[in-house]
Amino acid sequence: MKYELFFQDDKSNKFWIIELVGKTYKVSNGRVGANPRTTIKEFANIEEAKNAIEKQVKSKLKKGYKEGKSPAYKNVDWATLPMNNETFWRILNLFNWKKQGDDDAVIKPAVKVLSQLSIEKIYKFEDILSQKLFALDTMAHAKEIGSECYKEGEYFSSDWFLYCRCACITNGEKFYETVLKNPSTFPKDLEFETLITAAREAFELKTNEEWNYKCEDFSYETYSNTKGWKKA
């Protein structure tokens, strides 16, 4: 009994192999081309070991792994991709959350990719981000951000709400779409201000010039979405 799985995306190329050896299973995994990590676990009998293997495989498949040997990995030629909704989310997916606690380090891989694109595409990335932040700029969402939520007649930090909207977007496309439709699912007391610096840092890294671009169609500043703040 043996399963061989792999996982590939814009920042990962990993393999995972699990094999039944008597009453134990042996797992080998890691980055393709690197020395594998090996784990061995023993069970009371073969059936327990088989059940544990099936459970492990099911978990990996759920996380996006596929069965088979890793195919040749192709690096993304980011410069050839159009700057659209799909590319926007792919770039955000490059964030290195292993560096959580150092926001600049988290966004560094995405900034590096953005800096390799044309100035027009960097601007377009900013436009897409602005539109998404604008869409979340509603009273209904502001009431759901946690301890510093909007309450009529009380102090409300417009900056904090902006940074909370940034955190929502960094959770990915599916999460963002869910929160957009259902404000009650907004993440509580989370912020990621650094998201709004990504395009600026990429532009300045590319050109060594000061960033002075603003999206003409959408402002991400709180209260810009006037329809979203109309009282029912």
Span 125-176, pLDDT tens digits: 999 999 999 999 999 999 999 999 999 999 999 999 999 999 999 999 999 9
The two structure tokens encoding residue 225: 């979405």
Q: Per-residue pLDDT for 232 more than 70?
A: no
Closest CA to 4 of 74, 75, 53: 53
Average model confidence (pLDDT) across the chain: 95
**What share of the chain has pLDDT > 90, as a percent?**
89
How does strand 13-21 pair with strand 24-31? antiparallel
CA 50-63-70 angle, to 5 degrees, is 80
226, β-bridge pairs:
none
What is the SS3 assignment for 29? strand
In this prediction, residue 33 carries a pLDDT of: 82
In the chain, the domains with their CATH numbers are 2-67 (2.20.140.10), 78-229 (no CATH)
pLDDT for 72: 85
Per-residue pLDDT, 34 = 85
3-state secondary structure 4-27: EEEEECCCCEEEEEEEEECCEEEE
